[in-house]
Amino acid sequence: MKRTPVVFIHGVWLHARCWESWVARFTGMGFLALAPGWPGEAPTAPDVRASPEPLGRVGLDALIEHYAGIVRSFDVAPVIVGHSVGGLIAQHLVAADVGRAAVAIAPAPINDVPLPASPGRLPPPGRCGPAEEELVTLSREQFHQVFAGTLEAEESGRLYDRYAVPAPRRLLADLGCAGVPRSPRAVADVGNAARGPLLLISGQEDRLVPDEATRAVYKQYGDTTAVTDLKQFPDRGHSLVVDSGWRFVADYVLGWLDEHGIRAHAPQG
């Protein structure tokens, strides 16, 4: 039997290595797990911070096409697991019948779902630095406030050092974070009844993508007969895929996949 691929897609301000524990966990369970980086992403977060310029050219169109090509490259349709903008991309792809199933964790909102204002949210990218700069960098303090607000400063600092990278201003604008209309690609076909199962996950203490935004996205799928589930994790912030509680989220995803008949080894034929 061939192994079922699982493709992990990271979000803004994190490096692809944020999935390293998930990749090890899913691999240990028999899946073919991989976390390919964004176009131009260097091998480690310190490498990106040292030479971040290639990321400045990355927008939502490029990310969607990049990951669509990866997902389509397998003989066995992969499961797509995305965090933040990766969650948006996972929904976009599975709704377009690219991939077998999708998990969207604290996903950037799709369609016309607004990103509610909340305490601790960042200012628009235009006020995060000089407008001529292509990248928006979080300070260690901003990372703790916005990404890792449920953690102690020491854990947040370790995560920052290992995983934090600048975000492309172009991508943030595509997501509607700069007070401009979202990209037309920031959508998913919520009415596609033939798509694979979809799991939406939120952290109820998330300051960047509040739980209410993920619940609003979930409601958009209310008229489809395709499997759409929502899991809310109390006392968890936007760092829920990478902080010390990542295993609870990963194991919930593994259980959900098993519940829907998606196993590590795909049947032949």
Q: What is the CATH number of the domain that holds 118?
A: 3.40.50.1820
CA distances from 180 to 26, 75, 147, 176 (A): 38, 39, 23, 6
Residue 133 has pLDDT above 70, yes or no: no
CA distances from 118 to 61, 114, 123, 211 (A): 28, 12, 11, 11
pLDDT (0 to 100) of residue 46:
96
Per residue in 194-244, pLDDT tens? 999 999 999 999 999 999 999 999 999 999 999 999 999 999 999 999 999
Mean pLDDT of 3-12: 97
Question: 27-41, 106-120, 146-160: which has the minimum mean pLDDT?
Answer: 106-120
pLDDT (0 to 100) of residue 41:
96
Give me the number of domains the chain comprises. 1
* SS3 per-residue string spanning 201-245: EEECCCCCCCHHHHHHHHHHCCCCCCCEEEEEECCCCCCCCCCCC
Mean pLDDT of 156-182: 91
Mean pLDDT of 151-164: 98
Report the alpha-carbon distance of residue 230 to residue 104 in Å, rounded: 10
Beta strands in 75-155 (DSSP E): 79-83, 101-105, 135-136
Q: Which residue has the tokens 């204002």?
A: 117
Report the alpha-carbon distance of residue 170 to residue 106 in Å, rounded: 20
Report the alpha-carbon distance of residue 149 to residue 120 in Å, rounded: 9
Per residue in 11-40, pLDDT tens? 999 999 999 999 999 999 999 999 999 999
pLDDT (0 to 100) of residue 117:
61
What domain range is 184 assigned to? 2-266
Mean pLDDT of 92-108: 97
pLDDT (0 to 100) of residue 235:
94
DSSP letter for 109, please: P
More confident residue, 218 or 128: 218
pLDDT (0 to 100) of residue 1:
77
174 burial level (CB within 10 Å; 0-12, 13-18, 19+) = buried
Label residue 125 by pLDDT band (50, 70, 90). very low
Residues 70/166, Cβ–Cβ less than 8 Å: no
This prediction has a pTM of 0.94
Report the alpha-carbon distance of residue 243 to residue 159 in Å, rounded: 7
Report the alpha-carbon distance of residue 225 to residue 193 in Å, rounded: 5
Label residue 178 by pLDDT band (50, 70, 90). low
pLDDT (0 to 100) of residue 116:
66
